[in-house]
Amino acid sequence: MEIYSFKTLPSTQKYLLEKIKSGELEAPVAVLAFNQTAGLGSRENTWSGGEGNFFASFAISLQRLPEDLVLLSASIYFSFIMKKVLNDLGEKVWLKWPNDFYIDQDKVGGTITQKVNNILICGIGINLKNNQYGFRALKCDVSAEKLLKLYLEALDKFPQWKDIFSEYQVEFERSREFSVHIENFKKGLSGAILCEDGSLILEGKRVFSLR
C-alpha cells in the first residue's frame, strides 16, 4: 500500500476523503501526518494530539475485506487489529466498544470509519507520547512510521471477522464499566449483550458502532 506522509495536516481523514472523492487517490492508499490540528473524533469532536503522535488514515476497497465482516462493525475490526499490534509491542492496550483504545481507565486513541461508494476510509489516532493536554500515552518507543508499517502488514492478512470476534468478545467484558453515547444519550454498558456481528443489544434495542 502506498503511503503519503506530511509534516502537518488539519485531518488525515478529511484529506484522504477529499482525494478519494476527487479521484486524485485510489485505494489502497494510506496517509500519515506527524501533526494534526483538526482531526475527526467521535460525535464530531476533534482529535488533535499534538506533534509526534500517531495520525493516519487509509482507504481500502470493500472487496478486500472478509466476507463475514458486517460493515457497520468495521471500526471494531480495524481497531482490534491495531490493538493486537500494540500488544505485540508490549503495550497493555485494550479496546473499549466499539473503537476506543484504552490503557487501564485512560483513553489513548480511537478509530473512525467512513464509507465512500465501495471504499472504506479509516482514520486512527493514538497518543504515542504525552502532549500539551496531558493525556496518557503509550510507553513503547515506536515511531509513527514504524507503527503504520506494522499495522498495514497485519491488516494485509485480513483475518476473518469470526477470528477477531472470538478474541474481542472476551475483552468486551472490560467495557461494561463504561458508557457510550447513542443518539446523543449516554448509555451504560453494564447490561449490554454483545452480538456476533459486533452490535449490542442495549435496553432492548440493537445498536452498531455508528462510526
Distance separating alpha carbons of residues 200 and 198, to the nearest angstrom = 7
pLDDT score for 43: 42
pLDDT band at 160 (very low <50, low <70, confident <90, very high): very high
Asked if pLDDT for residue 144 goes beyond 80, the answer is yes
Span of 30-44, 48-62, 107-121, 158-172 with lowest mean pLDDT: 30-44
| Reported pTM | 0.92
Instruction: Provide CB contacts within 8 A for 80, sequence distance 6+.
Output: 95, 164, 167, 168
Per-residue pLDDT tens for 39-64? 655 545 555 557 779 999 999 999 99
Distance separating alpha carbons of residues 183 and 161, to the nearest angstrom = 26
In three state form, how does the secondary structure of 113-155 look? EEEECCEEEEEEEECCCCCCCCCCCCCCCCCHHHHHHHHHHHH
